[in-house]
Structure 1
Amino acid sequence: MTTEIDVRGNQVLAAVPPSELNRLAEHLEPVTLKVGDVLYEAGGNVSHVYFPLTAVLSLLTDLGGRQLVEVATVGDEGMAGLSVFLGAGPPTERASVQIAGAALRISAEQFRNDVVVLDGGLQTAIQRYVQAVFTMMARNSACNRAHNIRQRCARWLLMTADRVHSDSFDLTQEFLAQMLGVRRASVSEVATALAADGCIRYSRGTIDVTDHERLRGHACSCYAVIREAFSVAYQGLG
């Protein structure tokens, strides 16, 4: 693959020893993902495993009646296509692109036959990632029941800024409402309140986080717990 792409821009890959990573890199294809791209459907075929670099992905559950709710988010700290790694059946969720950007992908067949069989650094890194994902999904479930929309929205915005490594990113209120599983009017009210408090600026589908500390003050404790889970996931690897 070209040297223009930094494979270690993804934390799972960065945790893999150089010798193993060099072999894996031969099969990684750089791709640019657009907002709304569907990488795989629930119950469908997973053709590729994705390692985001600057893109952010959403794993969505269909509750029926055209209602999709986000159950997990994947950024540069992780990967999409865990069912391939686990050797499980078809995925139970849809994976779509939440924030446009770059990613690396490898065919599921190549990953399954040539990579997963290795008992090496990639296996360990993904196992660590799976544990952190369990923490995120458990907190997401509890958060949706126990915390108000403003707290959840602030947490979501902070986590997205962390993943894209930027204070500015494109995001419509309609999309954020879908991610939080609430009405668009509720998101509009929260965004207005956060902007009035000096936490964010919102204009023409672009969010600017203007004061991280103030925004953290509105977020629930789940933000710190999830961030810590991923920050320690790959310690001692690589």
Structure 2
Amino acid sequence: MSPKPPPHPRQNHLLAALSPEVQDRLFPYLELVALPLRALMYESGRPMRHVYFPTDAIVSLQYVMENGASTAILVVGNEGLLGITLFMGGESSPSRSVVQSAGHAYRLPRSRVKEEFKRHGELLLLMLRYTQALITQVAQTAVCNRHHAIDQQLCRWLLLSLDRLSNNHLTMTQEFIANMLGVRREGVTQAALKLQQLGVISYSRGLIKVLDRPQLEALSCECYGVVKKETDVLLHYMPQRQVIKDASAIPTVTLPTGNAVLAA
């Protein structure tokens, strides 16, 4: 059996949206890196050396409290990039970035990013629109965490995560999901069981299969719809999401054990 070919930079939709001229300037400096589950990409307050463009991974930005508690404020996948602080005037981030679903990303050195920004061209334009989409996601996450039930938050989180992958698989622990939502692990288990009883997902031995995405969207709070609508308007380069109609394309979320760390 032949090995699986490495992901192409164009599997990241933002990179794919760039003109051939800009791609020719940037692609030679892209470096493919593996992103293991729970790897630390950026640590709060530390200098950022690269911008990352995920192809088949999801990275979560978390805010960590003094007592060690954390909550995810946004997720980044193949729709954009990790490291917007570099073109917003900062050299470090106040949040921590952790790989939520293992995969790959292409990283670009800080110097090359800034050099392209100084051209005031299409990369900067795309990143400004992407930043606006992220602001909407952060704001809606804050509202959701304050006003909506855990099962609604889980639905929103599953949908946002699946929208940001080129495939239908997520890999993480139940404890990690609880950390993402800023809730107790027992709350995640109860929410997953509730969704299973409603026939939205199947849940067995740490494996979640989404059986009915339309119902999952209906059970989610309005926060998912707000973020999706804003993302679709601002990120015009994103492919349209299709409703799953056959069982072979059912999204799957795997919840194994394990932990891995990647140097920032």
TM over 0.5: yes
Asked if the contact 1:31/1:102 (under 8 Å) is kept, the reply is: yes
Aligned runs of 1:105-120 on 2, under 5 Å?
A: 105-112=107-114, 114-120=115-121
Alignment of 1:90-101 (within 5 A): 90-101=92-103
Structure 1 stretch displaced more, 166-175 or 23-32 = 166-175
Q: Is 133-142 or 164-173 further displaced after alignment?
A: 164-173
Counterpart amino acid of residue 73 in structure 1: V
Shift of residue 220, structure 1, vs aligned partner:
0.6
Shift of 1:190: 0.4
3-state SS of the aligned residue for 2:37?
coil
Once the two structures are TM-superposed, the CA of residue 8 in structure 1 deviates from its matched residue by 2.1
Q: Secondary structure at the match of 1:91?
A: coil
Q: Which residue of 1 aligns with 2:64?
A: 62
Distance in 1 between residues matched to 2:104 and 2:20, nearest whole Å: 22
Per the alignment, residue 206 of structure 1 pairs with: 207
Distance 1:82 1:207 in 2: 32
Displacement of 1:87 in angstroms is: 2.1
Q: Name the residue aligned to 1:88.
A: 90
Residue 252 of structure 2: aligned partner:
none
Deviations 1:105-132 (A, max 9, x none): 01123322x2222211101100000011
Q: Deviations over 1:24-57 (max 9, x none)?
A: 1111111111011111111011121101111000
Tell me what 1:15 maps to: 17
Amino acid at match of 2:229: E
Normalising by the residue count of structure 1, what TM-score does the alignment of the two structures yield? 0.92
CA contact (8 A) 1:201 1:210 kept: yes
Distance (Å, rounded) in 1 between the aligned partners of 2:52 and 2:204: 31
Q: Which has the higher mean CA deviation after the structures are superposed, 189-198 or 7-16?
A: 7-16
Say whether the 8 Å CA contact 1:40–1:46 is kept in structure 2: yes
CA distance in 2, matches of 1:60, 1:51: 18
Query: Any runs of at least 4 consecutive aligned residues in structure 1 with deviations exceeding 3 A, and if so which?
Result: 165-168, 203-206
Identity %: 37
Contact persistence 2:60–2:98 (CA under 8 A): yes
Instruction: Determine helix, strand or coil for the equivalent of 2:234.
Output: coil
TM-score, normalised with respect to structure 2 = 0.83
| Cα distance between partner residues in 1 of 2:213 and 2:37 | 25
Aligned residue for 2:32?
A: 30
Is the contact made by 1:50 and 1:104 (CA closer than 8 Å) also made in structure 2? yes
1:93-151 Cα offsets, whole Å, 9 max, x none, are: 01110000111101123322x22222111011000000111111111111111111111
Change (3 A) 1:236 1:94: closer
**Aligned residues of 1:15 and 1:121 also touching (Cα < 8 A):** no
Q: Which runs of 5+ in 1 are unaligned?
A: none
CA root-mean-square deviation: 1.8
SS at match of 1:232: helix
- Tell me the amino acid that sits aligned with residue 127 of structure 1: L
Measured in 2, the distance between the counterparts of 1:6 and 1:220 equals 35
- TM-superposed CA distance for 1:4, in Å, is 5.3
CA 1:236/1:167 → structure 2, altered by over 3 Å: closer, same or farther?
Answer: closer
Q: Paired residue for 1:152?
A: 153
Q: Distance in 2 between matches of 1:195 and 1:86?
A: 43
Q: 1:236 to 1:152 in 2, by over 3 A?
A: closer
Q: Among residues 103, 106, 113, which one is paired with 1:104 in the alignment? A: 106
Confirm or deny: 8 A CA contact 1:46 1:81 kept in the other structure. Answer: yes
Q: Which moved more, 1:173-182 or 1:103-112?
A: 103-112
